[in-house]
DNA sequence: GATCCTTGTCATCGT
DNA sequence: CCACGATGACAAGGA
């Protein structure tokens, strides 16, 4: 992480230098540009926040990362960037160029930033030392940044474990870390000799930090509902507005820089800033890290609205004529959050003028005149989504749902949830089913937004899989089951009990028939209501039941529903080639017959359940614990057929999962055995090599022994002093270690044989000995 | 059409 | 005895 940070900062430096040289620095982070977020009103964020809070009630384990909190973090990086730019004040900077780059940079940084920004203590020395060496350090980090946040998300949980909508905000911890580090880190900066920092600055700012921290903590407790706590917000506004403005004062490069003359003519703000600077002599204009810290704190303060914050500024700012001229999202945030106070403040002129500098940097197309001075923008739907969609597509690849997509998804999920509640309360209605299907198809089309994926598609997600499955099954049950029931079940219930084949055939015929007719029946709802005396409380149990604990497990029963767009997600598609094959091999149009073609693909049990009007989804039937299942059966008056079918469904479903697990296990065991086999083969080869080497060494030893024997024999003499013939004598080794030379008993009679032949024979004899 | 693969289902056994 | 999981065997469907 530190390396990455260092490299990123070094890259920032490099980019700044290039910009100073007049080169356009484009790090290719445009896909992450959150400009569309600036176009959305705060209501989007509000909705999102509300939704996520609501969602957190359902499941806290999801949406560990949301792009919006990253956007907020991007502000901090932009602040750091600005600080660094100001640290280059000695240089003659073509300001417009630099500002343009800043826009790119700060937008591009957003995806890669994390909550746990390096503490100033860590960062400050780096900024001093690693300015030059930084860019060459970790080229992979920038790639990671460009590849999107998902990687980062996966890499460091610590960084991304703080979704802005989660109740638990790690920024608190971050701030707690920041505070003690502060004193130490700011010292070297002061020593660096920007020289304008007063001694009392740290203390003052530290106090501010503390105040901000307490405020932010307090505000964070309020979590997303800042609409409800408008009074608190006003208090915080009054408290933090000065901080914001002071930080802004630091932010603008032309404020304290000696290179004011190079600024555009509207640098008249300089006077304001000078005045403000004189009014606050303690503020150091050139402490990037301090500023960054301040901005981080400020962001931390605003984090509870984090999701909201990213969206509101456009509507507030752009209306005023300088739309889109937001120098950075934070400025806009400030403006949006404290619009009234800002207008009354002295320094707002400065802000506006500085904002004008950016008009050239941002394309006018992205400027949407929607100003709501009230601060709360309820006019979210009025936001023109034209360019947002483009961003949406761009972001989609990186799992960064666009605000529009978020909105759609939020609305979708909210609607779905409300519909579910409604369904649970009032039974299943075909309208709900149709709506759900439409929304789900929208989600599918919208696809890549992580929200929908996480919450409704991932089979591994506890909440997502089950709730979605439940909803999907409800949907399917209501939609198709209704039609089936309308045409069939009334007359076929008796026959169905007899044999499933008959039923299946009839059901399929029915489905085909309905597919031709394109009819959507509506019987199921009423029947369900009849069958199930749905007390809402009782049904509501199913949403928050303990059986949901079992849902996140790695059962792949969902795979049995390849055609239902609700229950099948990308993950399940990846898991099941079969499913994909089925999907691909049976292409159906997206028109109305689609759901009937899908119904044709539904499982037999599902169809049976629908035909018998069983008011529960198969997932529910299968995954409920025994107690809950029995309770379910006891609470609902079901006839024999339904009970039998439910029992069969449960048995088959469980057995299906068991079979899948078994096969998975078997496959794993097979793989393990294969590994064992390969290991054993390696071991055998090694042993063979060892054996060969042993044989080789043995032969060498034999050869040496033979040569030694010959040498000894040649050195021996008989009584006459003649050398012994090795063919006639042999060396005997006694048990007690004695060595004796004895004449060979079995002499080969034909001495005419060649010596070689004799030697061979002798050798054999010797060897045999 | 034969073959292989995947998946669902049933029967059976053990816990 | 029942619920449940594991597993072999078989069938169906698709490639």
The three-point CA angle A13-A15-A19 to 5° equals 115
Helices A230-251 and A348-357, interaxial angle, to 10°? 60
Contact status, residue A247 vs residue A295, Cβ threshold 8 Å = yes
Calculate the angstrom distance between C1' of C13 and CA of A597: 17
The three-point CA angle A360-A242-A90 to 5° equals 50
Among A394, A472, A400, A384, which Cα is nearest to A433's? A472
Instruction: Output the 3-class SS for A343-382.
Output: HHCCCHHHHHHHHHHHHHCCCHHHCCCCCCCCCCCCCHHH
Contact status, residue A374 vs residue A388, Cβ threshold 8 Å = no
pLDDT digits (tens, 9 = 90+) for A606-628: 777 777 778 888 778 888 888 88
Among A336, A399, A307, which Cα is nearest to A50's? A307
DSSP string, A76-88: HHHHHHHHHHHHT
Q: Nearest nucleotide by C1' from A604 CA?
A: B8
Q: Count CB neighbours of A226 within 10 A.
A: 23
**Quick one: how many helices (H) and strands (E) in chain A?**
36, 2
Contact status, residue A292 vs residue A81, Cβ threshold 8 Å = no
pLDDT value for A618: 79
pLDDT value for A78: 40
pLDDT value for A20: 52
**Which residues in range 539-598 of chain A are in contact with strand B, contact meaning CB within 7 A of any of its atoms?**
556, 559-560, 576-579
A427 in contact with nucleic chain B (CB within 7 A): no
A607 in contact with nucleic chain B (CB within 7 A): no
Q: Which residues touch strand C (CB under 7 A)?
A: A 581-582, 584-586, 625-626, 629, 650, 654-655, 658-659, 661-662, 665-666
Among A8, A287, A1, which Cα is nearest to A134's? A8
Q: Nearest nucleotide by C1' from A582 CA?
A: C14
Among A729, A739, A740, which Cα is nearest to A762's? A729
pLDDT value for A18: 55
Calculate the angstrom distance between C1' of C12 and CA of A612: 24
User: Across-strand partners of A739?
Assistant: A733
Average pLDDT, chain A: 45
Calculate the angstrom distance between C1' of B7 and CA of A578: 8
Residue nearest to nucleotide C13 (CA to C1'): A582
Q: Nearest nucleotide by C1' from A559 CA?
A: B7
Contact status, residue A37 vs residue A406, Cβ threshold 8 Å = no
The label of the residue with tokens 């009230």 reads A374
Q: Nearest nucleotide by C1' from A584 CA?
A: C14
The DSSP H or E segment spanning A740 is strand A739-743
Calculate the angstrom distance between C1' of B11 and CA of A652: 13
Half-sphere exposure of A383 (CA within 13 A, CB side): 31
Polymer length in residues for chain A? 769
User: Across-strand partners of A742?
Assistant: A730
pLDDT value for A685: 96
User: Which positions on strand C lie below 7 Å from a protein C-beta?
Assistant: 3-9, 14-15
Calculate the angstrom distance between C1' of C7 and CA of A670: 15
pLDDT value for A246: 56
Strands A729-733 and A739-743: antiparallel
The DSSP H or E segment spanning A611 is helix A604-611
Half-sphere exposure of A7 (CA within 13 A, CB side): 15
| Structure-token pair, residue A415 | 């609607």
Among A240, A73, A232, which Cα is nearest to A162's? A73
CA distances (Å), origin A123, targets A1, A3, A75, A106, A126:
12, 11, 16, 18, 5
Q: Nearest nucleotide by C1' from A651 CA?
A: C4
pLDDT value for A178: 34
Contact status, residue A35 vs residue A107, Cβ threshold 8 Å = yes
User: Which positions on strand B lie below 7 Å from a protein C-beta?
Assistant: 6-11
Calculate the angstrom distance between C1' of B1 and CA of A585: 20
A652 in contact with nucleic chain B (CB within 7 A): yes
**Domain map of chain A by residue range?**
2-28+65-162+185-364, 403-633, 716-768
Over its C-alpha atoms, chain A yields an Rg (Å, rounded) of 39
A657 in contact with nucleic chain B (CB within 7 A): no
Find all residues with CB under 8 Å of A495, minimum gap 6, and list them: A502, A503, A506
Residue nearest to nucleotide B5 (CA to C1'): A578
The pLDDT averaged over each successive group of 10 residues in chain A (769 residues) is: 48 54 42 32 29 32 32 36 42 36 35 34 34 35 36 35 34 34 34 35 39 38 35 41 51 40 37 38 38 44 35 34 35 34 36 34 34 34 32 33 37 38 35 38 34 32 34 34 33 36 40 35 33 33 33 33 32 35 32 36 68 80 83 82 84 87 84 84 96 97 91 84 81 85 66 40 38
User: Phi, psi (5° rounding) for residue A741?
Assistant: -105, 120
Among A378, A398, A404, A608, which Cα is nearest to A502's? A608
Residue nearest to nucleotide B11 (CA to C1'): A655
Contact status, residue A485 vs residue A492, Cβ threshold 8 Å = no
Find all residues with CB under 8 Å of A445, minimum gap 6, and list them: none
Contact status, residue A29 vs residue A111, Cβ threshold 8 Å = yes
The DSSP H or E segment spanning A730 is strand A729-733
Calculate the angstrom distance between C1' of B1 and CA of A666: 31
Strand boundaries in A651-728, DSSP class E: none
The DSSP H or E segment spanning A685 is helix A640-715
The 3-state DSSP class for residue A728 equals: coil
A612 in contact with nucleic chain B (CB within 7 A): no
Report the C-alpha gap between A192 and A168 in whole angstroms: 38
């Amino acid at each position: 992480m530190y390396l990455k940070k260092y490299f990123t900062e070094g890259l920032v430096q490099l980019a700044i230098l290039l910009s100073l040289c007049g080169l356009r620095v484009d790090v290719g982070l445009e896909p992450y540009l959150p400009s569309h977020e600036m176009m959305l009103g705060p209501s989007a964020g509000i909705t999102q926040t509300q939704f996520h809070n609501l969602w957190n009630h359902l499941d806290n384990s999801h949406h560990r990362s949301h792009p919006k909190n990253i956007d907020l973090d991007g502000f901090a990086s932009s602040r750091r960037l600005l600080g660094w730019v100001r640290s280059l004040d000695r240089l003659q900077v073509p300001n417009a160029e630099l500002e343009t780059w800043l826009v790119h940079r700060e937008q591009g940084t957003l995806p890669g930033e994390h909550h746990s920004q390096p503490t100033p203590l860590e960062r400050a020395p780096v900024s001093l030392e690693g300015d030059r060496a930084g860019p060459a350090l970790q080229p992979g980090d920038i790639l990671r940044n460009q590849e999107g946040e998902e990687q980062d998300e996966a890499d460091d949980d610590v960084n991304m474990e703080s979704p802005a909508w989660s109740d638990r905000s790690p920024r608190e911890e971050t701030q707690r870390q920041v505070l003690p580090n502060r004193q130490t880190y700011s010292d070297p900066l002061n020593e660096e000799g920007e020289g304008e920092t007063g001694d009392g600055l740290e203390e003052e700012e530290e106090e501010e930090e503390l105040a901000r921290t307490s405020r932010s903590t307090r505000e964070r407790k309020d979590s997303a509902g800042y609409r409800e706590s408008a009074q608190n917000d006003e208090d915080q506004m009054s408290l933090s507005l000065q901080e914001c403005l002071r930080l802004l004062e630091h932010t603008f490069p032309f404020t304290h820089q000696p290179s004011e003359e190079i600024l555009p003519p509207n640098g008249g703000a300089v006077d304001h800033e000078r005045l403000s600077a004189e009014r606050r002599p303690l503020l150091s204009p050139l402490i990037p890290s301090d500023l960054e810290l301040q901005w981080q704190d400020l962001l931390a303060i605003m984090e509870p609205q984090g999701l909201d914050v990213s969206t509101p500024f456009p509507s507030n700012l752009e209306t005023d004529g300088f739309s889109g001229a937001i120098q950075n999202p934070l400025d806009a945030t400030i403006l949006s959050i404290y619009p009234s106070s800002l207008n009354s403040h002295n320094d707002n002129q400065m802000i506006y003028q500085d904002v004008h500098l950016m008009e050239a940097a941002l394309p006018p197309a992205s400027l949407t005149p929607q100003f709501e001075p009230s601060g709360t923008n309820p006019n979210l739907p009025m936001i023109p989504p034209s360019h947002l969609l483009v961003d949406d597509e761009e972001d989609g690849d990186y799992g960064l749902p666009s605000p529009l997509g978020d909105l759609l998804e939020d609305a979708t999920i909210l609607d779905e949830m409300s519909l579910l509640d409604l369904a649970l309360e009032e039974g299943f209605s075909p309208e709900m089913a149709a709506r759900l299907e439409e929304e789900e198809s929208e989600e599918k089309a919208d696809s890549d937004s992580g929200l929908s994926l996480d919450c409704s598609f991932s089979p591994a997600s506890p909440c997502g899989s089950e709730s979605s499955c439940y909803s999907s099954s409800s949907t399917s049950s209501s939609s198709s089951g209704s039609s089936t029931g309308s045409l069939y079940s009334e007359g076929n219930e008796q026959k169905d009990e007899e044999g499933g084949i008959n039923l299946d055939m009839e059901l399929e015929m029915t489905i085909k028939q309905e597919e031709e007719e394109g009819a959507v029946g509506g019987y199921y709802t009423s029947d369900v209501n009849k069958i199930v005396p749905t007390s809402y409380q009782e049904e509501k149990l199913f949403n928050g039941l303990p059986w949901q604990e079992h849902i996140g497990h790695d059962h792949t029963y969902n795979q049995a529903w390849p055609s239902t767009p609700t229950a099948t997600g990308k993950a399940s598609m990846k898991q099941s080639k079969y499913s994909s094959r089925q999907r691909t091999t049976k292409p159906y149009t997206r028109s109305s017959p689609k759901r009937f073609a899908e119904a044709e693909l539904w499982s037999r049990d599902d169809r049976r359940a629908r035909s018998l009007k069983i008011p529960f989804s198969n997932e529910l039937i299968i995954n409920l614990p025994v107690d809950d299942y029995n309770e379910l059966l006891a609470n609902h008056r079901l006839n024999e057929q339904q009970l039998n079918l439910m029992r069969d469904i449960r048995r088959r479903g469980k057995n299906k999962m068991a079979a899948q697990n078994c096969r998975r296990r078997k496959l794993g065991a097979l793989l393990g055995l294969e590994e064992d086999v390969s290991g054993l083969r390696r071991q055998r080869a090694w042993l063979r090599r060892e054996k060969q080497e042993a044989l080789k060494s043995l032969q060498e030893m034999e050869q040496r022994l033979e040569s030694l024997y010959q040498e000894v024999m040649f050195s021996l003499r008989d009584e006459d002093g003649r050398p012994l013939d090795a063919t006639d004598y042999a060396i005997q080794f006694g048990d007690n270690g004695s060595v004796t030379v004895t004449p060979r008993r079995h002499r080969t009679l034909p001495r005419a044989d060649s010596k070689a032949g004799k030697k061979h024979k002798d050798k054999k004899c010797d060897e045999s000995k």
